[in-house]
């Protein structure tokens, strides 16, 4: 039993020591007998952070999300937990399910808690670069797929010339589809990294490689042309504008947009 005095009416009380909450028998005031174990909660949170970091380093992203969720259940304003969750979520990105936008939402929650936090900015930059690299990776996979279809087609018509007319249209559509998907991926990467020349180099390489393709007849050309003004602005921020304009010349010349290349080259 414990003895205490009611803070409201000063009545003398004697209560069991295993209660968390009691009420004064005289005035009914609610009395909190046991304070939350804050130190224990902090220790648990710290332990979960350590486990979360280990999971991230091991690329066990599902486990990392579980540990970050455990932290957020105890403290919804823990910035580290939101950052860890964003990083782990993006790590689960697949061709069928891109998690970049979801990861950005978690970073927005962190930003609301700690505006201007350098950790949040650095994490967003890191995920953006990784997303661009992912688009480039997918683009290169599409090129490999298109090359394989083309090689198989060439071998087929070598052994059976009559098969050329029968399969040419179908195979050409598949090949074109692959190369167009690749170009779209490279443009997405360029949109994410307007100051980085690497996505543009991939655009140039593909345009030169597939110089037989009439880009103006494809969906990728229409999408690219819609974004030309944006690229004009973004490229204006690149120091090596002449190098960039030459890089884009392969794609733009194919689409008979050389005047735009000249405009970009003179952008300050």
Q: What is the pLDDT of residues 89-140, one digit of tens each?
A: 999 999 999 999 999 999 999 999 999 999 999 999 999 999 999 999 999 9
For a pLDDT cut of 90, what percent of the chain falls above it?
Answer: 38
Across 24-38, 46-60, 173-187, least confident range: 24-38
Residue 229 CB partners (closer than 8 Å, separation 6+): none
**For residues 158 and 5, what is the distance between their CA atoms, to the nearest angstrom?**
100
Query: Residue 145's pLDDT band (boundaries 50, 70, 90)?
Result: very high
Mean pLDDT of the chain: 78
Instruction: Kindly state the tokens that stand for 243.
Output: 């190098």
Q: Report the pLDDT value the prediction gives residue 121, as an integer from 0 to 100.
A: 96
> Is the Cα torsion angle 74, 79, 84, 85 positive or negative in sign?
positive
Nearest to 215 by CA among 176, 249, 187, 185: 176
Query: CA separation (Å) from 253 to 72, 73, 130, 183, 205?
Result: 53, 56, 30, 15, 13
Q: What average pLDDT does range 192-214 have in this prediction? A: 81
Q: What average pLDDT does range 216-237 have in this prediction? A: 56
Query: CA separation (Å) from 223 to 227, 232, 260?
Result: 7, 15, 16
Higher pLDDT, 121 or 249: 121
**For residues 52 and 65, what is the distance between their CA atoms, to the nearest angstrom?**
8
Residue 216 CB partners (closer than 8 Å, separation 6+): 255, 256
Query: Residue 247's pLDDT band (boundaries 50, 70, 90)?
Result: very low
């Amino acid at each position: 039993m414990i003895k205490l005095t009611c803070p409201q009416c000063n009545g003398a009380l004697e209560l069991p020591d295993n209660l968390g909450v009691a009420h004064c028998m005289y005035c009914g005031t609610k009395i909190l007998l046991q304070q939350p174990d804050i130190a224990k909660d902090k220790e648990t949170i710290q332990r979960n952070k350590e486990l979360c970091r280990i999971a991230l380093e091991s690329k066990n992203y599902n486990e990392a999300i579980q540990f970050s969720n455990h932290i957020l259940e105890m403290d919804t304003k823990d910035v580290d937990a939101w950052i860890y969750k964003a990083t782990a979520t993006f790590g689960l990105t697949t061709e069928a399910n891109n998690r970049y936008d979801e990861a950005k939402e978690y970073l927005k929650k962190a930003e609301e808690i700690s505006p201007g936090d350098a950790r949040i900015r650095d994490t967003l930059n890191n995920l953006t670069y990784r997303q661009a690299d992912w688009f480039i990776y997918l683009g290169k996979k599409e090129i490999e797929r298109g090359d394989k279809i083309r090689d198989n087609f060439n071998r087929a018509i070598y052994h059976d010339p009559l098969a050329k007319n029968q399969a040419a249209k179908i195979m050409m559509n598949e090949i074109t589809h692959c190369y167009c998907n690749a170009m779209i991926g490279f443009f997405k990467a360029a949109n994410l990294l307007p100051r980085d020349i690497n996505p543009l180099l991939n655009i140039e390489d593909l345009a030169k490689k597939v110089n037989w393709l009439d880009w103006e007849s494809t969906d990728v050309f229409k999408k690219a042309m819609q974004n030309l003004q944006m690229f004009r602005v973004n490229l204006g921020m690149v120091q090596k504008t002449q190098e960039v304009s030459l890089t884009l010349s392969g794609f733009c010349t194919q689409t008979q947009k050389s005047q735009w290349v000249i405009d970009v080259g003179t952008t300050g």
